[in-house]
């Protein structure tokens, strides 16, 4: 592998390098680092494009297995991160390169009145991917132990019980055939400041800006603490966390694409075998 400086010697380099392990500390991870990738920006962008076809093809096989076979396999990619961490860019530049018929994206916003009247997982369950699909969550049930914890939106006793509830829920998903990939995009406070500044500089980006985004910067360390708790307490073997350094957008996109690819390859997908006699159908078609 010495010739190719972009790969490391493993079948699942990004999965191995980004997975949260015992003793992980968010504050120890440099948001500008590029684990499992030694190339630079141009190499990263090229690598992203190079893998488009493989990702599309694996997605089609996943979908085919649900139609032609009777597989209940699905993938759920959960993307979390502070404002401006690049969640939208992941949707557009990674998920957006896959056939949209095979993907279900849900952006979870502030819960509605109706959603608040139900248990916090109610609205999540409604958006789980169908068999054969890649479901993508832009924010998720983790907001219920992040913003909710930082702002005490429910009593501590309630939010603190949610970590165990989430673990049980995700275990259940995995047992039902869902490959759960949980990604946190990790940016620095300084990078966020720069990105918010760019939104203010450009009139065509003003609609993305909300003055409340600046207020939230005062709670930066509380959010980091809440993320650290979620990463530690909801890191079950069946659905571990991956923390992606995200100050470099090109790296974050490549890393999420590679995490998806490595998980899809591991499913060992095959084209379903025809349930009809191919020659007989060819003969029938010829007679029409």
Binding site for a copy of itself (CB under 8 A): 64, 67-69, 88, 91-92, 95-96, 99-101, 103, 105, 107, 138, 193, 196-197, 200, 203-204, 206-209, 211, 214, 217-218, 271-274, 276, 278, 281-282, 284-285, 288
Of 23 and 211, CB closest to a copy of itself? 211
Task: Pick the closer one to a copy of itself by CB: 178 or 196.
Answer: 196
- Angstrom CA distances, 114 to 117, 118, 120, 126, 142, stand at 5, 7, 11, 13, 19
C-beta of 133: minimal distance to a copy of itself in Å? 11
Which DSSP category does 83 fall into?
T
Cα gap 228→110, rounded to integer Å: 22
The nearer residue to a copy of itself, 36 or 62, going by C-beta atoms, is: 62
Structure tokens at 213: 């985004």
Residue closer to a copy of itself (CB basis): 20 or 183: 183
Nearest residue (CB) to a copy of itself, 12 versus 217? 217
Closest CB 36 distance from a copy of itself, rounded Å:
26
Place of tokens 């979870």: 108
CB atoms within 10 A of CB 43: 15
Whole-number Å distance between alpha carbons of 158 and 217: 25
Residue 189: CB atoms within 10 A of its CB come to 13
What does the alpha-carbon distance between residue 4 and residue 138 come to, in Å, rounded to a whole number? 33
* CA nearest to 111, candidates 136, 80, 158, 143: 143
For residue 19, which phi and psi values (nearest 5 degrees)? Answer: -65, 135
């Amino acid at each position: 592998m010495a010739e190719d400086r972009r790969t490391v010697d493993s079948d699942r380099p990004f999965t191995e390098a980004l997975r949260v392990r015992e003793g992980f500390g968010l504050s120890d991870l440099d948001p500008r680092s590029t684990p499992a990738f030694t190339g630079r920006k141009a190499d990263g962008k090229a690598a992203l494009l190079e893998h488009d076809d493989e990702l599309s093809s694996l997605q089609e096989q996943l979908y085919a297995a649900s139609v032609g076979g009777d597989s209940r396999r699905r993938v759920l990619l959960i993307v979390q991160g502070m404002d401006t961490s690049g969640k939208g860019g992941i949707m557009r530049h990674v998920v957006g390169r896959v056939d949209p018929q095979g993907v279900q994206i849900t952006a979870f916003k502030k819960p509605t009145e109706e959603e608040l009247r139900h248990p916090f997982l109610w609205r999540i369950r409604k958006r789980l991917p169908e068999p054969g699909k890649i479901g993508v969550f832009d924010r998720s049930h983790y907001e219920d132990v992040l913003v909710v914890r930082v702002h005490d939106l429910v009593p501590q006793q309630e939010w603190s019980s949610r970590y165990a509830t989430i673990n049980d829920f995700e275990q259940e998903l995995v047992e039902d055939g869902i490959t759960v990939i949980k990604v946190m995009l990790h940016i620095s406070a300084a990078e966020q400041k720069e990105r918010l500044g760019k939104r203010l500089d450009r009139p065509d980006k003003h609609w993305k800006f909300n003055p409340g985004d600046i207020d939230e910067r005062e709670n930066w360390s509380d959010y980091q603490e809440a993320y650290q708790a979620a990463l530690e307490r909801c890191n079950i073997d069946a659905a571990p966390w991956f923390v992606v350094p995200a100050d470099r957008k090109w790296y974050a996109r490549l890393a999420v694409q590679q995490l998806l690819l490595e998980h899809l390859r591991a499913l060992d997908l095959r084209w379903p075998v025809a349930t009809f006699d191919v020659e007989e159908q060819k003969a029938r078609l010829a007679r029409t």
